[in-house]
Every structure is written in structure tokens, then in C-alpha cells.
Amino acid sequence: MNLSTLNFESMVYLKQALYSIVVLCCMFFIPNSVSSQTIDHIAGTVVDKQGEPLIGVSILIKGTSIGTITNADGNFTLTNKTMQNPVLQVSYLGFIPQEITVTGLSPLHIVMAESTKSLDEVVVVGYGSQRKKDLTGAVAVVEPKDLNNIPVATIGDALEGRAAGVQIISSGVPGNDPTVLIRGIGTINDASPLFVIDGVPVSSGLGELNMNDVQSIQVLKDASATAIYGSRGANGVVIVTTKHGTTDSKPRMNLNYYFGIQQAAKIVHMLDASQFSALHNDMMTNAGLAKDPAYANPASLGQGTDWLGALFTTAPMHNISFSYSVGGSKSSYYVSGNYIDQNGIVINTGYKKLTLQFNSDTKISDKLRFGNSITLNHDIRTNGNYNIQNTMLALPTQPIYRTNGNYSGPVAQPIWDGDLVNPIGLAKTVDNATNGYNIIGSIYGELEIISGLKLKSTVGLQGNLWDSRTWAPEYTWDTSINSQAYLSEQYNKNFTWNWDNTLTYDKSFGKHHLTVMAGTSAQENQYNYLNGSVQNFASELTQQMSNGTSNPTVGGDASSWSLLSYMGRVNYNYADKYLLTGTLRRDGSSRFGSGNKWGLFPSGSAAWRISKEKFFRNIHFVDDLKLRAGFGITGNQQIGNYSFASALQTITYNFNNSIVSAVVPSVMPNPNVQWEEQKQTNVGIDAVVLNDRIDFTIDGYLKYTDKMLVPMSVPITTGYSDVYVPSINAGKMENKGIELTVNSRNLTGKFKWSSSFNVAYNQNKVVSINDTVPMTTGSIGLNYNLALIQAGHPINSFYGYVTDGIFQTQAEVNNHALQVPGNDPYNRTSPGDIRFKDLNNDGVINDKDRTFLGNPNPTFIFSLNNTFSYMGFDLSIYLQGVAGNKIFNANRIWDEGMSVAQNQTTAVLARWTGPGTSNSMPRAIYNDPNENTRPSDRYIEDGSYLRIKNITLNYTIPQKWLKSVSLTSARVYVSAENLYTFTKYSGFDPEVGASGIDNNVYPVTRTISMGVNLGF
């Protein structure tokens, strides 16, 4: 080492030493030194990697409740009066969160990197959780943030269209849970999925939850995902987790409120008084009967009574909720309350619900923690006594009220005035309500035995207590008389408890990651009810059971079931490249006989992340690409509790002139009844491309139901009932389909545009049914069954006659197959009647000429959501629809029948009145001698629709406007639900139910609402 080098190094060391001494002096003698200064004003800008400002980024001083969000230019300011060198927590949806220590007064310039959140987010699966990128099965994730501003009373309604392959069929009835079907209908029995709320399997759907309390929603669709639930996983599983507090967080409170106005989205047009009276005259004349003198001059009767206008009303809806969360180093809490008050669009219907949520987590030590989730609610359902169909049929020539204020009724003979009881009178005077008291709760404890090995025990409870009451007063409304008041009451109690224990080992070994879970589950249910009724009350003021004096009845029943399960799952991951999952569950159920109580439900799946392979590294536009495949067997135990045994009933009979009671079997036992079994194969692709701008998932599946339980054919000669029959494992059903989900971020920067699209194709087919013996279904009374379940056809396919136009002349009637013979011109097939096809060419139209008319199951279900953001404004436009299904509009059997004294739709104005006047709408004739109203393709309509499901515009108020009122966030919005439906369907609404039969269905409502979300 030469001297010059030594001198240079000495100078460097000397300078470093002097600098250190100066810094130490500053630390001790200068109060506002850099290392410990209190910075009272913090400002900065947040941008993305392209330098574009980010709007609405959350900035929070760690350990405090002091926070703000960035403005339209990405700028923010904060006031800090207590902390030295504060740490900022910076977070924004779709970007990697950061923590930044503030060490100076200069404005901050924060650059946020986009995250692959869609891959790294943790999703809840059965008895555990996984990163989404590690999934090998078909699991859909629904973001609760997309649901919070939708003006509906239940979570189920808000889920409609949000997940590919999940069909949600909403009901307009206030508070009613929708029908949920995952990948089509898989059984003729209960096809509803299993709902799991905070680890508790529930039977009541999702209606008991407050939407603002939901943290995550996962839908398990294929057998490799649902097999961990064994005998309850055949129809899919919906897992809901509610919010919990977070540790080391300051108190936070949120208040949400919206007010909405509801109305019927569409009203079917009925005849007015003039039009009806003219129709009635035609109907009487064509039948050779005397016309009603009151209808001598139809034009003079005018519009008459609008019965539907009196039944439907504009209805308000209120929803208010609050939540409070706080967390320390050891414990955290989340408490919330929600109140819904929803009037129905049909008079005297409504729904009120009060919900309380209390969740907590406590860390006793580094190894032990406890927690709970409890949901309590009380609801009141005002069910009313409405009949939409009868309201449509009520005569426009009859007023609602008489001049004395009483409700009206028919006054002339039924052939002229009909015999319907005043539907508005019944809707307003009959009280029919249900009160419910519900709890869903779980308590857990988790112990880490050694590193990576955890034991968790969870005890859960679902309890439902509900009582229903119906009061019908006595009345005399002209010829409609109810001479005795009626009171009926029922009390129900349903409790289900479960106890789950799991042992989970989670460990990484270099590139290998292994998760092994083994556990047990026990579940037991008890249900009982008591009901009674009585008639004839001395006064309407004494509406108690003890005050009725005639026709008392009493009834009641009880049932129970239990389930014991053993389960295991192995997840193996090598280098995030090769993933394997295997599950096995063994269930024992009390619902089956001694030889068939236990069932085994295995599944296996694998995934290959191709994007991790060396040969794929040069394909830069693909961020992640994964192939999946799986197979599994699941079961269905929703068959009733005692199918293996004979049902007993008590009867009375006369023996030696004495009334004797006896207990006799009414249903033949089937000790060999087994589980319904479902085998499902699934293959899928998950991909993220273009720097996380687009992600998509494609799944193809084949779902095969075996040993499906169907009613047994029991000869009457056995002595058992041939109506109430046992179930036997004699059916098979198949569903196959393809699902596609695409999410994209189309534009970023100040103006943002993101889209989410999903579409699912499903084809259903009954493979076999009780040795080829078809089943009739879809009964609507009048001995009409509108559908048939038969091998080779989709479930619930419509079945009936095929029309072939209208007979224009008597010669056409004579030259066609015999329909209704006779010499009486008023009681036989005549010109103006429907011509039905002679499908078997035997010259006679009879039951043998019926055939399959249509499929009620949609071929496609789809949705598209677009969200636009600019300068604090967010606009969301959500479209949803189905295609390829048919609807049997059974309402038209009555309101286009033109055969009795009932009102009809305006469609009958195009009825046949002479040769050449119509080839689709038959003549009007009393008593319908040709049976023009028989089930036929006349009533089959296209059920496809595209609905503007929701449009929401919201504005996030700038933080600088909120400081003076101590708010951390504020947002206002307006929203429209079910705004408009594009459809060819002629009824109220094409969303009529899984059966596809529209028969007195409460229509889906349009709701316009405005609301506010406040954070404190």
C-alpha cells in the first residue's frame, strides 16, 4: 500500500467519523432532528408505473385512525400532531399495498405497482383456505363490494348472474330466498346447493345475513371441490364468511342507508268493461245461450274497474345498517346491526328484518386462539292473501266497493257474473303473517401443536323458531258469503348443531409444499311443530284460539336426523408448477337403512402451471396459465328422514258399533334405499394475460347422477297407498356444459373502465327413470299436468297437444281427425276452434297425440358488468339474462280461455269471429266444447330475456370536504334494479321459477333507490 492510498483512506475515515459525531450531536441537542422529528403536515402524490395519478388511494397513518384518500390528481394531505416519523399505509384495489416511513418534510412521490390479486387472494374452501392460484377445482369467487349497493333484501338475489354456471331465479315476494341451481338441475329431488355460513351448514339459504357483513363468497362447483362435503355436495356448495375485526386497528364505524321505491316492472293488459261485455256477448251467442241484459250496450260501460291497478301499488323500501370494528394486539371485534323494511308491490305484503352480528377473535398466546361468529335476526313476513290470477280474472264490470262501503261480489247468475270472491277484499281483510327468530353461530378454538401443525375445533348452531297466523273474518259481499270467521296458528322449532374437528399440517420443504387435513364432523337436527285452527267467533275483537266455538282441529309432528363423517384432504404443490389435490369423505346418515347408512365419497384433481415452464418464458404477454382436471363422487341425502321405514298413521273405524282407533302402515318401507350418487368430471383453464389486464377461466364438465331416488310404482293390491309411495334408486340424469368467465381492465388512469363477463352452457337429460316409466309433474289443478319426466328428454319437459291453426269452415272440421263429435252445433268442434295435430294418424285426437313441447331449462345463462370511474364518480351497468328456455304461461289457460264469465287479456281482441279473421286465437264460446284450453303449444312461449339488472352511479366525496365533520369517507349513490327487460314473453316477467310454469307467480319488481355510505 503506497502513501497516497493510505492518506486518501485516512481522509475518508476522518470525514465519516466527523459526520457521525455531528449526527449524534444533532440527535441529543436538536429537538426536531431528522431521526425523531414530529412532522405535522404530510403531503404527496400517488401514481401508477406509467405516471398516471391514482384516484381514491387509501392513506392511513399506521396505528391511528388518521387517514385520507387521494383526489382526482392523485394528491393527498394529512395532519399529524403526535407521531414521530409516522408510517403511512398505502392501499388501493388492484395494487400492491405499501408501508412508507415519513422522514422529511418534502412531498412524497409514491409509485404503486399493480398486483396479481386475482391470483394471490386467499379463497375459502371446505374446512380450510387456499390461494386462488393453487386451486385445482372449479371455484367461483364473488366480490361482496359488487353487491353492497344493490337494493334487494337478500344476498341470494344480489348474486344473480355473478358466477358462471350459477343460476339464480329471483322471487318478487318480499324476503323470499331465490332458487339457486349450480350447473343445472341434478336430481328430481331437492337440487339446492349446500350453504355454509361461517363454517355452519345451514338449511335456510342466505336470507338471514346482512349483505354488508359479508367478507367473502365462494361457490364450489365441481366434485373435486365439493367432495369434502360428501353426501351434501352433489348440488354444489356456497360458502359465506362474515367480516371480522383486524388486530392493531383503531376503532372504525360505518353507516349505510338507502331508500327505494318499488313497482311492478310490467302490467299485463286486461279488457276494459266495454271490451269484456262485447266478448261475453260473443261467448253467449256462440253457445246458444241468453246474453246478459246488462251488456246490451257494451260501449256505454266505459273503462270499468282496474283490478290489477288496485292490487299492485308503488311500495317503499328502507335499509339501514351500521358496523363497528376495533382491534388490539390480542383481540379484535366486529359488531353490526341492520334493519330492512320492505313493503311489497302487492297490497298487504311486506318484509321486515332486524339483524345483529357479533364476531370476535382472541389470541391467548402465539399458539392458541379462540373466536366466534354469531348472527341473530328477527323477521316479520306479511304474506297477505293475494291471488294475482283471480285479480286478472275479476270482471271489469264489477266495482271493488258497493255504495255502502262494503266489498262487492257477484249478484247475477254465475254464467253472467262469474263466481270469484272479491280479490281486493280478500287481500285487504285476511291477515296472514309469519314471525321468525333465528340464530346462526359458531365458536372455534385453534391450537398450534408444533410448527405447521394446527388443531381446530368448531361448534356451530343453526336455530329457527317461527310462528304463523292466519285470520279470515266472516263477511257477506253480495253472493260471496263466509259465515264463520277462521283462525289458524302454527308454531315451529328447528335446531341443528354441528361439531367439526380438523388437524391440519402445512409445511414447505424447498420447492415442495404439503398441506394435509384430517377431521371429523358430527351434525344433528331436530324439528317439531304444533298447529291448530278453529272457526266461529262471537266477535272479531277476540281473535284467540280459545274463543272459537266450532270445528276445532289440532295437529303436530316431530322428526330428526343425524350425520357422522370422517374426512381427509391432501394438497401438494411443487414449485408452484405442479399441483395435486385428493379428498376422501365417509358419511354415515340416519336417513338410510342399517345396510346402507355409510357412503364413501372420493375425489382427485391436478393442475399444471404451464407458465412456469422454461419453454414458456419467452411468451411475455401471458402472465399466468394453468390447466386443471378433476374427478369426484359426491352424494345427496336430501330425501326425507324415514324413506327406509314404513310411515304409520292413526285411523278410526267402526267395530261392533264402536269407534275404534288403530295404527296402520301407510307407506311401503324400502330398507334398501341408498344415497343418490353424482360423478363429475371437470377440466379447466385459468389464464392471466397482458400484464394482469385480462384474466379468464374456462371450465368444461360432465355431471352424471346415478341411483337417483324416484317414486316407486306400488299396486293397490299390496294394501299400501299407491299415492304416498316409497323412493327407490331407479333414476339417472346427466348435465354437461361449458363455462367462461372473463375479467378485464380496459382503461386505466384518470378514466378507468373495467368489465366482467360470464356465460355458461348447460344441457340436461334424464337418462332413465324408474324402468322407463315416465313421471307426470307440473300440476295446476283441473287434472292438468303440464310436464313430463321421461328418459331421453330434459327434466320437466312440457307435454301436451300440438296446435295446427284454426278451423275456418265446417268442411275443414269434417276433413280432419275427430276431435269432439256430436250433432249439437253448440257442443262439438266447430269453425273457430283450434285444430290439433293427429300425431299418430289414427283419425282421433286423444291423449295419444300428446308430445313434448319445450324445455324449461335455459341453454345459456350470462351476464356482463361494466364499471367506469372518473374524478370520484363510478358508474356500473350490469346486464343479465338467459336464453334457450321455454315458459308454459298457464295464466293464459284462464285469461285467454274465453269460456266462462272471467276477464281476459287484450290478446283475445284478435279472436276468431268468422272465416279468415284469425288463425291463432280461437272463438269465444261458453264451456269450451272443443277443449281449446287443453295443455298445448298454444301456451308455450320463449323464455329468453336480457335484463338491465342494475345501474348504479355513485360519487365519493373528496376527503378535504369531510375533515370538518370527522368523517373518513363518504359516498352517495343512486341505483336502479331490474330497470328494463328485453323479452318476447307476454306475462308479467320471464323469471317464473325452475319449473318454467307461470301460474299465479309474484312478479320481479323494479326498484329505484338512493343511498349514502359514511365512514367514521
Comparing 78-82, 515-519, 842-846, the range with the smallest average pLDDT is 78-82
Q: Over the stretch 150-201, which tens digit does the pLDDT of each residue have?
A: 777 788 888 888 999 999 998 889 989 899 999 999 999 999 999 999 999 9
**Residue 472 is assigned to a structural domain of this protein:** no
Question: In this structure, are residues 440 and 377 in contact, taking their beta carbons and an 8 Å threshold?
Answer: no
Say how far apart CA 316 and CA 262 lie, in whole Å.
6
Domain shared by 235 and 151, yes or no? yes
**Nine-digit cell string for 27:** 440527535
What DSSP character marks residue 53?
B
Are 103 and 164 part of one and the same domain?
A: no
CATH code for position 91: 2.60.40.1120
The rounded Cα 454 to chain-centroid distance in angstroms is 35
Q: Are residues 107 and 214 in the same domain?
A: no
Quote the mean pLDDT of the chain. Answer: 90
Q: What is the mean pLDDT of residues 690-705?
A: 95
197 domain residue, yes or no: yes
pLDDT higher than 70, residue 374 = yes
Can you tell me the mean pLDDT for 602-614? 95
- How many angstroms separate the Cα of 394 from the Cα of each of 305, 400, 405, 582, 643? 9, 10, 19, 61, 44
Domain presence at residue 76 = yes
d(CA 912, CA 921): 6
Per the CB < 8 A criterion, the answer to whether 94 and 106 are in contact is no
Can you say how many angstroms the Cα of residue 138 is from the centroid of all Cα atoms in its chain?
Answer: 19
The C-alpha atoms of residue 135 and residue 121 are separated, in whole angstroms, by: 11
CA distances from 625 to 572, 611, 756, 914, 923 (A): 18, 5, 19, 68, 64
CA dihedral over 635, 638, 639, 643, signed as positive or negative: positive
β partners of residue 441: 374, 461
Using 50, 70 and 90 to split pLDDT, how confident is the model at 32?
Answer: very low
Q: Given this model, what pLDDT does residue 9 score?
A: 40
Residues 467, 491: contact at Cβ < 8 Å?
yes
Residue 178 inside a domain? The answer is: yes
Q: What nine digits make up the cell of 159?
A: 348474486
pLDDT reading at 709 higher than 50: yes
| Structural domain includes residue 72 | yes
Residues 229 and 149 in one domain: yes
Same domain, yes or no: 129 and 180: yes
Over residues 297-314, the pLDDT tens digits come to 999 999 999 999 999 999
Residue with cell 299415492: 723
Residues pairing with 696 in the sheet: 687, 742
Residues 516 and 505: beta-carbon distance below 8 Å: yes
| pLDDT of amino acid 725 | 81
Q: Convert the pLDDT of each residue in 436-462 to its tens digit.
A: 999 999 999 999 999 999 999 999 999
Is there a domain that residue 341 lies in?
Answer: no
Reported as a single tens digit per residue, the pLDDT across 817-875 is 999 999 898 999 999 999 999 999 999 999 999 999 999 999 999 999 999 999 999 99
Question: What value does the mean pLDDT take over residues 926-934?
Answer: 96
Is residue 166 located within the same domain as residue 104?
no
Q: What pLDDT sits at residue 94?
A: 64
**Per-residue pLDDT at 934:** 96
Q: What is the pLDDT of residue 42?
A: 86
Between CA 301 and CA 304 the distance in angstroms is 7
This prediction's pTM: 0.87
**Residues 883-916: tens digit of each pLDDT:** 999 999 999 999 999 999 999 999 999 999 999 9
Q: How confident is the model at residue 5 (pLDDT cuts 50, 70, 90)?
A: very low
Q: For residue 155, what is the domain's CATH number?
A: 2.170.130.10
- Buried-exposed string 747-779: b where 16+ CB fall within 10 A, e elsewhere: ebeeebbbbbbbbbbbebbbebbbeeeebebbe
Q: Assign residue 446 a region (left: φ > 0; alpha: ψ between -120 and 50; beta: otherwise).
A: beta
The pLDDT confidence band at residue 21, using thresholds 50, 70 and 90, is very low
Distance CA 225, CA 511 (A): 24
User: With left for phi above 0 and alpha for psi between -120 and 50, is residue 589 left, alpha or beta?
Assistant: beta
Regarding beta strands 368-382 and 98-101, do their DSSP bridges make them parallel or antiparallel, or are they unpaired? unpaired
pLDDT digits (tens, 9 = 90+) for 712-724: 877 777 777 767 7
Helix (H, G, I), strand (E, B) or coil at 247: coil
- In this predicted structure, the answer to whether residue 13 has a pLDDT above a threshold of 50 is no
Mean local confidence (pLDDT), 517-539? 96
Domain count, the chain: 3
What are the two backbone dihedrals, phi and then psi, of residue 669, each rounded to the nearest 5 degrees? -75, 155
Q: What is the mean pLDDT of residues 630-658?
A: 84
Task: Summarize pLDDT for 203-251 with one digit per residue, the tens.
Answer: 887 889 999 999 989 999 999 999 999 999 999 999 999 999 988 788 9
Residue 528 is classified by DSSP as E
Q: How many CB atoms lie within 10 A of CB 115?
A: 16
Last residue within a domain, chosen from 817, 848, 879: 848
Report yes or no: 862 and 880 within 8 Å, Cβ to Cβ. yes
Read off the pLDDT of residues 37-63 as tens digits, 9 standing for 90 and up. 556 788 889 987 667 778 778 888 887
Q: Assess if residue 538 is contained within a domain.
A: no
Distance between CA 36 and CA 961 in Å, rounded? 31
Burial tier of 607 (Cβ tally within 10 Å: 0-12, 13-18, 19+) = buried
Contact criterion met (CB below 8 Å) for 182 and 221: yes
198 and 166 within one domain: yes
Helix, strand, coil shares of the chain, percent, nearest 5, are 15, 50, 35
* Closest CA relative to residue 374, chosen from 444, 279, 295: 444
pLDDT of residue 684: 97
Query: Residue 62 has which C-alpha cell?
Result: 399506521
Domain stop point among 111, 144, 164: 111
**Model confidence at 10: pLDDT above 60:** no
Query: Residues 983, 872: contact at Cβ < 8 Å?
Result: no
CA distance 353 to 320: 11
Choice between 82 and 619, residue whose per-residue pLDDT is larger:
619
Q: Are 210 and 126 in a shared domain?
A: yes
Q: Which residues of 300-313 are buried (b: 16+ CB within 10 A; e: fewer)?
A: ebeebbebbebbbb
Are the C-beta atoms of residues 127 and 136 closer than 8 Å to each other? Answer: no
Q: At which of 111, 142, 164 does a domain end? A: 111
Q: What is the mean pLDDT of residues 937-946?
A: 98
CA–CA separation, 615 vs 635, rounded Å?
42
The answer to whether residue 214 is domain-embedded is yes
Q: Which band of pLDDT confidence, cut at 50, 70 and 90, is reported for residue 132? A: confident
More confident residue, 762 or 205: 762
pLDDT band at 87 (very low <50, low <70, confident <90, very high): confident
420: which DSSP letter?
A: -
In which element (H, E) is residue 199 found? Answer: none
Q: Name the 3-class secondary structure at 506.
A: strand
pLDDT at position 116, please?
52
Residues 158 and 203 occupy one common structural domain: yes
Residue pair 369/363 in contact by the 8 Å Cβ criterion? yes
Q: How far apart are CA 68 and CA 66, in angstroms?
A: 7
Query: How would you write 320-385 as a 3-class SS string?
Result: EEEEEEEECCCEEEEEEEEEEEEECCECCCEEEEEEEEEEEEEECCCCEEEEEEEEEEEEEEECCC
- Which candidate, 1015, 1013, 1016, places its Cα nearest to that of 320? 1013
223/635 Cα distance (integer angstroms): 10
Mind spelling out the 3-state secondary structure of 56-117? CCEEEECCCCCEEECCCCCEEEEECCCCECCEEEEECCCECCEEEECCCCCCEEEECCECCH
Instruction: Tell me what pLDDT residue 7 has.
Output: 41
> In which domain, by residue range, is 205 found?
122-242
Residue 38's pLDDT is what?
Answer: 59
Closest CA to 939 of 792, 761, 799: 799
Check whether residue 126 and residue 238 sit in a common domain.
yes
DSSP result, 893-958: HHHT--SSS---BGGGGG---STTS-SSS----TT-TT-TTSSBGGGEEE--EEEEEEEEEEEEPP
Residue 568 has pLDDT above 80, yes or no: yes
